[in-house]
């Protein structure tokens, strides 16, 4: 039998039997608020009643359908989860559900040591009776599912490791990612600081004989570059490097945000108070640049709001700044610029953490080396809160942001903290996707990148790998990766009559410069088969699928399969081109193959093996055909079968339909007969010709006939 690899957060964080589930039936939108009220000294206020509160949505008062005073407990379906308005609270929750998310992509090793020490005080001193705590890593996924077992939690905290992401491309200077973002936002001080640093480097633009001298054409009569020309060239070079550094950095920011979003959505199934503690040194989202990832932040906030979770964030740098920054270039680059850039860089790194916390009803702990005290503040803050809910008067499903404000008209001196708002459901957009797959427990980012950057083993475990490009409105541009692992060659350990092996799959995409692109991925499976199950598993093998968000460019996707107990390994790699659809040029998706028309769908097929004398069905998406938006395109397709470097068969050119389902393009589908072809390897070439633009595009797919 096939052994499933996908181990999602939804399964690992699912509530145990007995937890209240949402009631099906009505589709009323219910917005739940967890409201914390403090006095002028910051102490919680627990004596207020429903009459003291006024809740507004976009400035309009709302009628509360649920109010649970401070000190009581209740639970309710949240924000568009099916449930009737005014539904009574469920059974009292036994305690808080606390998810600790450690962003080990963005925590320096020395800071993680301090964070780990502080976290170990959580099970010892801070957990209340009935609290359940989960530990999640942004690189390793769920380390420990929700548990009340303090000893298990402490042991899980001990396993935390610091993993520095690979250096962003273009790091030939002292430029930091935060400085790169400032440059691309138009900050003049950051650009001048980088330019001055560049001029101090060997072979810089100030060296008329150096390799960068050609970057400027502003030469004086002596033939040497002018001071103004050198400055301009240095600033241009700084701008170029900033784009590469920030783009690479944001890949890792997206991975961290995805981990937080997944936990938020998985927590929606839990009743009672839901709290997330996010620990990080801070990360960038490119705000104010062409590369910005603020939409991913909005997804996190929306997931937390709909999941009913309050997010508290902690800057684990404390009072100590770790890692190289602009000051490493020395005083020669100018203290006047450096101090300003350093201050702004710190604000950028903390800005995302502060934004997530503020919009979900939590707060940011920063500027302190007492991390344990910060954790205690977070947990003490939500020990006393008011739970309330309302059915919005505005029932439109237009996808717009609804701003929430909670007031205490008779207590102006009190501070009120709750969610900033939520995004109404959009009737034109499908429901949010389930939590995405993440690296499973026991795998980490450093392990994946190091293993794939080294020379890959050949032979051993046979691996077939496929990677195809696809872009759809719901998912954007991505690579679809699928692998088939032949486990017939594995050696097995026999224990108590069972055949056992531990199989790891590690993968990543690498750009033309050999740098890791996007978030690496991986899965680990403990295979445990009876003799009969093993016989079937050897015949079918193991399938693995992964979607990767990648910007336009040429990549090599690498996959390593290894059995960890006995040291067996095998690998495969495949080239992939992600076209830039924004330039308007004709492009196509990858070619998706199947033995039946319904199966030739939006997933890469790694095996691509077909029976003799049958038919091969394929699908391909066509993008940027001239005149397509007006229904006046003239595009034709032709399928060709190649073998041994020669075309041995071809179909007649067929007009492309270029159909759409709403805004979603429909694929072009066709059939190729394999009758008369001998067993062996072949190549399918799909040629797309845009007659109006007089251009063509070609996609290929290898397959085999058995």
pLDDT score recorded for residue 220: 44
Q: What's the pLDDT tens digit per position in 517-541?
A: 777 777 777 888 888 888 888 888 8
pLDDT score recorded for residue 188: 85
Separation of first and last alpha carbons in the chain: 22
pLDDT score recorded for residue 357: 93
User: How does DSSP assign 110-170, residue by residue?
Assistant: HHHHHHHHHHTHIIIIIPPTT-EEEEEETTTEEEEEEE--HHHHHHHHHT----PPPPPTT
pTM of the model: 0.57
Does domain 584-706 correspond to CATH entry 3.40.50.450?
Answer: no
Indicate the pLDDT class of residue 323, thresholds 50, 70 and 90.
Answer: very low
Indicate the pLDDT class of residue 438, thresholds 50, 70 and 90.
Answer: very low
HEC secondary structure over 536-591: HHHHHCEEEEEEEECCCEEEEEEEEEEECCCCEEEEEEEEEEECCHHHCCCEECCC
Q: What is the mean pLDDT of residues 367-380?
A: 92
Q: What is the mean pLDDT of residues 219-239?
A: 65
Percentage of the chain exceeding pLDDT 70 = 77
Which of 198-202, 348-352, 453-457, 697-701 is the least confident region?
A: 198-202
C-beta separation of 621 from 667 below 8 A: yes
C-beta separation of 463 from 485 below 8 A: yes
Indicate the pLDDT class of residue 226, thresholds 50, 70 and 90.
Answer: low
584 Rama class: left (phi>0) / alpha (psi -120 to 50) / beta = left
All CATH 2.60.40.10 domain ranges in the chain, comma separated: 443-578
How far is the C-alpha of 362 from the C-alpha of 32, rounded, in Å?
A: 15
Q: What are the structure tokens assigned to 250, written together?
A: 């944001």
Strands, E assignment, 486-552? 493-495, 498-510, 516-529, 542-549
Residue 206 pLDDT exceeds 80: no
Q: What is the CA radius of gyration of the chain?
A: 28
Q: What's the pLDDT tens digit per position in 8-59?
A: 344 344 444 333 232 223 345 778 888 889 898 888 888 999 999 999 999 9
Q: What are the structure tokens assigned to 699, written together?
A: 């996609």
Residue 605 pLDDT exceeds 90: no
Topology (CATH level 3) of domain 443-578: Immunoglobulin-like (2.60.40)
Q: At what angle are helices 150-158 and 109-119 packed, to 10 degrees?
A: 170
Q: What is the mean pLDDT of residues 241-253?
A: 84
Indicate the pLDDT class of residue 218, thresholds 50, 70 and 90.
Answer: very low
Which of 172-176, 436-440, 465-469, 607-611 is the least confident region?
A: 436-440
pLDDT score recorded for residue 44: 86
Query: 420, exposed or middle or buried, with CB in 10 Å at 0-12, 13-18, 19+?
Result: middle
305 Rama class: left (phi>0) / alpha (psi -120 to 50) / beta = alpha
610 Rama class: left (phi>0) / alpha (psi -120 to 50) / beta = beta
Query: 301, exposed or middle or buried, with CB in 10 Å at 0-12, 13-18, 19+?
Result: buried
CA distance to 38, 70, 466, 611, per residue, from 41 (Å): 8, 18, 61, 76
Q: Which of 49-53, 324-328, 456-460, 568-572 has the highest mean pLDDT?
A: 49-53
Q: What are the structure tokens assigned to 364, written together?
A: 């940011």
Handedness of CA 201, 203, 204, 209 (dihedral sign): positive
How far is the C-alpha of 627 from the C-alpha of 586, rounded, in Å?
A: 11
pLDDT score recorded for residue 224: 52
Percentage of the chain exceeding pLDDT 90 = 18
CA distance to 173, 208, 230, 245, per residue, from 212 (Å): 14, 8, 10, 19
Q: What is the mean pLDDT of residues 340-369?
A: 90
All CATH 2.60.40.2550 domain ranges in the chain, comma separated: 584-706
Average pLDDT, the chain: 77
Indicate the pLDDT class of residue 596, thresholds 50, 70 and 90.
Answer: low
């Amino acid at each position: 039998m096939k052994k499933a690899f996908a181990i999602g957060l939804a399964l690992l964080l699912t509530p145990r039997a007995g937890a209240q589930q949402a009631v099906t039936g009505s589709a009323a939108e219910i917005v739940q608020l967890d409201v914390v009220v403090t006095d002028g000294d910051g102490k919680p206020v627990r004596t207020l009643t429903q009459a003291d509160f006024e809740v507004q949505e976009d400035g309009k008062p709302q009628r509360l359908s649920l109010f649970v005073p401070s000190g009581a407990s209740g639970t309710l379906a949240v924000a568009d989860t099916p449930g009737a308005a005014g539904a009574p609270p469920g059974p009292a929750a036994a305690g808080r559900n606390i998810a600790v998310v450690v962003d080990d992509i963005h925590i320096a090793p020395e800071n993680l040591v301090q964070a780990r020490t502080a976290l170990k005080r959580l099970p010892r001193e801070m957990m209340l009776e009935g609290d359940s705590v989960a530990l999640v890593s942004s690189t390793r996924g769920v380390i420990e599912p929700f548990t009340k077992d303090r000893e298990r939690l402490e042991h899980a905290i001990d396993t935390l490791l610091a993993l520095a992401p690979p250096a962003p491309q273009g790091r030939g200077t002292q430029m930091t990612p935060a400085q790169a973002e400032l440059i691309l936002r138009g900050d003049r001080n950051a650009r001048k600081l980088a330019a001055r640093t560049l001029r101090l480097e060997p072979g810089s633009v100030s060296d008329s004989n150096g390799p960068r001298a050609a970057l400027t054409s502003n030469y004086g009569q002596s033939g040497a570059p002018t001071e103004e020309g050198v400055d301009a060239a240095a600033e241009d070079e700084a701008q170029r490097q900033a784009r590469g550094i920030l783009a690479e950095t944001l890949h890792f920011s997206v991975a961290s945000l995805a981990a937080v979003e997944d936990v938020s959505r998985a927590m929606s199934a839990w009743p009672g108070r839901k709290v997330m503690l996010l620990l990080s040194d801070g990360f960038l989202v490119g705000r104010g640049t062409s590369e910005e990832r603020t939409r991913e932040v909005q997804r996190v906030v929306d997931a937390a709001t709909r999941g009913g979770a309050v997010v508290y964030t902690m800057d684990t740098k404390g009072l100590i700044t770790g890692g190289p920054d602009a000051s490493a270039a020395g005083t020669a680059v100018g203290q006047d610029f450096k101090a300003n850039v350093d201050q702004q860089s710190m604000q950028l790194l903390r800005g995302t953490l502060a934004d997530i916390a503020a919009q979900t009803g939590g707060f940011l702990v920063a500027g302190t080396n007492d991390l344990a005290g910060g954790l205690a503040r977070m947990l003490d803050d939500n020990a006393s809160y008011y739970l309330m809910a309302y059915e919005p008067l505005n029932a439109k499903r237009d996808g717009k942001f609804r701003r929430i404000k909670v007031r205490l008209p008779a207590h102006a001196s009190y501070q009120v903290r709750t969610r900033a708002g939520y995004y109404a459901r959009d009737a034109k957009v499908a429901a949010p996707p389930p939590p995405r797959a993440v690296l499973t427990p026991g795998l980490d980012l450093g392990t994946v990148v190091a293993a794939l950057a080294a020379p890959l083993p050949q032979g051993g475990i046979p691996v077939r790998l496929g990677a195809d490009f696809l872009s759809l409105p719901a998912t954007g541009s991505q690579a679809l990766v699928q692998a088939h692992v032949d486990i017939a060659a594995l050696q097995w350990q026999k224990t108590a009559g069972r055949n056992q092996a531990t199989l790891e799959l590690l993968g990543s995409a690498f750009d033309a410069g050999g740098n890791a692109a996007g978030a690496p991925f991986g899965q680990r499976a403990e295979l445990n088969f009876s003799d009969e199950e093993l016989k079937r598993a050897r015949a079918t093998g193991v399938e693995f699928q992964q979607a990767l968000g990648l910007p336009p460019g040429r990549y090599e996707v690498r996959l390593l399969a290894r059995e960890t107990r006995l040291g067996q390994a095998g690998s495969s790699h495949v080239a992939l081109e992600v076209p830039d659809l924004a330039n308007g040029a004709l492009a196509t998706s990858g070619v998706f193959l199947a033995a039946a028309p319904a199966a030739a769908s939006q997933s890469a097929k790694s095996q691509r093996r077909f029976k003799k004398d049958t038919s091969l069905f394929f699908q391909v998406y066509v993008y940027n055909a001239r005149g397509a938006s007006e229904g006046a395109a003239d595009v034709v397709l032709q399928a060709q079968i190649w073998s041994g470097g020669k075309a041995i068969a071809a179909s007649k050119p067929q007009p492309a339909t270029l159909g759409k389902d709403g805004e979603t393009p429909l694929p072009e589908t066709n059939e190729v007969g394999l009758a008369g072809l001998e067993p062996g390897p072949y190549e399918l070439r799909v040629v797309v010709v845009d007659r109006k633009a007089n251009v063509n595009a070609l996609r290929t797919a290898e397959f085999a006939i058995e």
